[in-house]
Amino acid sequence: MRFLYPDFRTKALTFSYDDGCCQDRRLTELFRKYGVRATFNLNSAFLGWKGPITHGGFTVPFDRSEPEEICELYRGFEVASHNATHYNMSKHTPETIREELWRDTSALRALTGQAVRGFAYPCGGFNHHSHEFLAEVGIAYARTGLSTFRFDLPQNFYYWCPTCHDRHPDLAELARRFIDGEPEELWLLYVWGHSFELDKNDIDRWENLEGHLRLLSGREDIWYAENIEICDYITACRACIYADGRLHNPTEREIFLTHKGKKYRLAPGETAEF
C-alpha cells in the first residue's frame, strides 16, 4: 500500500519566502501566472517599514509590505509567521520567544482573518525546544534554512528542511530531475528564498526563477500546494491506522492511496479492506 498526494499525484511543489517586502508584489503575480502555490513568512512588527537592505554585498529595495495590503497581496497564498521582529529563536529567553510568537500570530490573524499555522525560523535559528513554543500558539510546522538537495518529506514538520534556495545553481538540475523522475516514494520539491534577493543584479534572478516556473508549472503529476497543505495532508496520512488488512482514516481529510495497481480514496472516518 502506498499513500499518494491528493488526486493520486506523486509529486508536490511548494515555495516559501521570508520577510514580507515590496518584491512580494511582483513575486505573487509571477506565482499566479504559473499557477503555483507558496507560503509567505511575515514579521508583523515591521510591516510598512521603509528602507533598502545590504545583503551579501548587494544593496536592494527592502520596503516592507504595508499592513493594509496584506489581505489582497497574499490572497491565495499562505501567510505564516517569521516572528514579530525577526527574533532568532535560538538566542532568546522563553518569555521573549512566547511574546514574539504570540504577537506575530495574533497580528497576522487579525490582518488576514486566517489562523496562522506555519512558521519559518528567523536567521535559521532554532534549538531542540523550539517546537514546544511553536505548538503552544497553534503552529503546525516550521521551516529551517538548511537545504537538503533532496525530495523527501520531513520526519518532523517542526524542523522542515527545504530542498534548496531559489538562486542555488543546483536548482536547475534538481528541477529537471524532479520533472523526469518516476518516484517510488512521494516527492517534494521545496524551494525557499527572499524576494528582495531577486533584485540583486549579478544575473537576472527574476528571469532565472521564471525559467524554473516555466519548467515546473502545469504538470498533471504535481500537486501545487502551500506549505501548510502539505503538512496537513501528510500528517493525516501518518495518522491512518493499519491493522489486520484494514486501513482506517481517523482524520477529517480525504486520503489517496494505491495498492496492487488499484487506486483508493479513503474518506474521513472510512475504513478500507485490502
Binding site residues, Zn ion, CB under 5 A: 18-19, 122
Beta strands in the chain (DSSP E): 2-4, 11-18, 38-42, 52-55, 58-61, 78-81, 118-120, 141-143, 164-165, 187-193, 222-224, 241-243, 246-248, 255-259, 262-266, 271-273
Backbone angles phi, psi at 248, to 5 degrees: -110, 135
Least CB distance to Zn ion at residue 86 (A): 6
Least CB distance to Zn ion at residue 138 (A): 21
CB 64 within 8 A of CB 48: yes
Question: Which DSSP state fits 137?
Answer: T
Least CB distance to Zn ion at residue 41 (A): 7
- How far is the C-alpha of 187 from the C-alpha of 221, rounded, in Å? 11
Which CB atom, from 197 or from 232, has the smaller least distance to Zn ion?
Answer: 197
Which CB atom, from 73 or from 89, has the smaller least distance to Zn ion?
Answer: 89
- Residue whose CB is nearest to Zn ion in the complex, by number: 18
Instruction: Look up cell 480525504; give the residue.
Output: 254
Least CB distance to Zn ion at residue 129 (A): 20
Which CB atom, from 122 or from 154, has the smaller least distance to Zn ion?
Answer: 122
Which CB atom, from 4 or from 89, has the smaller least distance to Zn ion?
Answer: 89
* Distance in angstroms between the alpha carbons of the first and the last residue of the chain: 9
Least CB distance to Zn ion at residue 101 (A): 15
Which CB atom, from 122 or from 193, has the smaller least distance to Zn ion?
Answer: 122
Full strand arrangement of the beta sheet holding 241-243: 241-243, 246-248, 271-273
Residue 166's nearest CA partner among 203, 141, 118 is 203
Which CB atom, from 19 or from 104, has the smaller least distance to Zn ion?
Answer: 19
Least CB distance to Zn ion at residue 133 (A): 18
